[in-house]
A = this chain, B = another copy of it.
Amino acid sequence: MIDSQFAPPVERLVEYFQRLPGIGRKSAVRMAFFLLSMSKEDAEGFADAILKAKEKVFRCEVCQNLTDTPVCKVCGDLSRDRSTVCVVAEPSDVAAIERAKEYKGLYHVLHGVISPLEHTGPDEICIRELVTRVGQGEIKEVILATDPDTTGETTAVYISGLLKPLGVKVSRLAYGVPVGAHLEFADVVTLMRAIEGRREL
């Protein structure tokens, strides 16, 4: 083991930080030492925040997004358009779309995408819950907003195949050049899709 000169409780903390996404050994060590330099109250608050988040946060019974109330804030907001559902892979995607303050419908969080390489099949993510929801008849349009990559695309195509027979409109996010980007740096596939999807002015 590298760095075994750390005291065992420090080493254990480093190992936990290292499990976080995007954190390597060096950053984990920095974080562990930073934590040790925090006040006792702050460190206890951190530990408590982890426990409380894990204990009090669960999935919304309607849309599967994370919430601390039985039905999440979006699903509970009666001013929102209940006939449109935006399907995303992760709770953080809901946060991203909400930030844009443009979309007024509801969401459905899959908690993953279909990925044969990671052994995630359709049954491992919340597709069944989506089909049940759509089957209840209130939903008129489903916007598939999974990532524009291979697994996101596969998942969108798969869900689309399940929902279309239910007579619901199924759409996909528009592909194109990102706003504010330079054309010369856009990849060819994006450029091709942007031309395909051109709109009349």
- Please list the residues of chain A having a beta carbon within 8 angstroms of any beta carbon in chain B: 2-3, 5-10, 12-13, 15-16, 19-22, 27, 29-38, 40, 42-57, 66-69, 72-74, 90-92, 94-95, 98-99, 111
Within 8 Å by CB of A35, from B22, B45, B53, B72, lies B53
Across-interface contacts of A12 in B (CB, < 8 A): 49, 52-53
The reply to whether A2 and B68 form a contact with Cβ atoms under 8 Å apart is no
Partner of A7 from the list B45, B46, B57 (CB cut-off 8 Å) is B57
Query: Which one of B9, B49, B90, B98 contacts A16 once the chains associate, using CB atoms below 8 Å?
Result: B49
Q: A47-B48, A54-B44 are in contact. Are A99 and B13 (CB under 8 A)?
A: no
Task: Provide the bound-state CA to CA distance between A36 and B199, in Å.
Answer: 41
Sampled A-B contacts (13; CB under 8 Å): A5-B73, A5-B98, A7-B57, A7-B72, A9-B52, A10-B68, A12-B49, A16-B46, A21-B30, A22-B27, A32-B53, A40-B54, A46-B50
Q: Are B53 and A50 in contact (CB under 8 A)?
A: no
CA–CA, A3 to B101, complex, Å?
11
B residues within 8 A CB of A92?
29-30, 33
Residues of B within 8 A of A9 (CB): 49, 52-53, 55-57, 68
Contact (Cβ within 8 A) A50 B43: yes
